Copies of this chain bind each other. A is one copy, B any other.
Amino acid sequence: MADAFGQMLLDGTGPEIIERDDGFVDAAKIGYFAPIARWPAVERRALRWVRGRVLDAGVGAGRAALELQRRGRSVVAIDVSAGAVEVARGRGVRDVRLLAFEEVDESLGRFDTIVMFGNNFGLFGSPSKARRSLRRLRPLADRIVAGSNDPYTTGDPAHLAYQERNRKRGRMPGQLRLRIRYRDLIGPWFDYLIVSPDEMATIVEGTQWRIRTLLEESGSGYYVAVLE
């Protein structure tokens, strides 16, 4: 499959065209290069929960990893996109690896914090994969700081119809199946899980993780959860 996402980051322009498996397309200005002043306020606030040795899961163009390095953290960054790895490395992220989130294991060492900014709780993919990953990560990290978007803050009929379609298929309402389109490149389909705080609490139950605190962005469905 083509690395549409990576090529988009290599070119650095965007917009990011995302196609959902019901045919819905969206084109959004890319935030992957945003300096901290243009981050969601809730991610700036979340930085004080990020301590010690850090895993940046889904590094993208490196905005979080670079800021954390600047603050003296030791960061290991991963991404499944070769283009993202190249861009993040080129921008100064010191330790970036081409690795899927599901493949994180003890070979990377222990982490104090796993950071999943930019909605990257989504990388857990599905509730069952999320529970499996959380159990696997339990001995590898003390804390996860992850952003998600409450899927129930939308009133958009197209999104509500998609949530209903998911329910009928036995999927979580916010379990998106997406792919990136960039120019003539079509990326692979992937699952991306967006959940409400309540749904997140249900998912983590029994995994030996719990939600320590929720940081909510006012006027938006975006929030950052601190799991311990």
Chain A residues in the interface with B (C-beta under 8 A): 15, 17, 22-27, 158, 161, 181-184, 186
Report the copy number of this chain in the oligomer. Answer: 2
Closest CB of chain B to A86's CB: distance in Å?
A: 19
Q: How far is the CA of A158 from the CA of B185 in the complex (A)?
A: 10
Q: How far is the CA of A96 from the CA of B183 in the complex (A)?
A: 35
17 A-B pairs besides A15-B27, A158-B184 with CB distance below 8 A are: A15-B15, A17-B17, A17-B25, A17-B27, A22-B184, A23-B181, A23-B184, A23-B186, A24-B183, A24-B184, A25-B181, A25-B182, A25-B183, A26-B183, A27-B27, A158-B183, A161-B184
19 contacts between A and B (CB under 8 A): A15-B15, A15-B27, A17-B17, A17-B25, A17-B27, A22-B184, A23-B181, A23-B184, A23-B186, A24-B183, A24-B184, A25-B181, A25-B182, A25-B183, A26-B183, A27-B27, A158-B183, A158-B184, A161-B184
For the complex of A and B, the 9 pairs showing the least CB-CB separation, nearest first, are: A27-B27, A24-B184, A25-B181, A158-B184, A15-B27, A17-B25, A17-B27, A158-B183, A23-B184
> Which residues on B sit within 8 Å (CB–CB) of A161?
184
> Which residues on B sit within 8 Å (CB–CB) of A22?
184
Q: Which residue of chain B has its CB nearest to the CB of A186?
A: B23
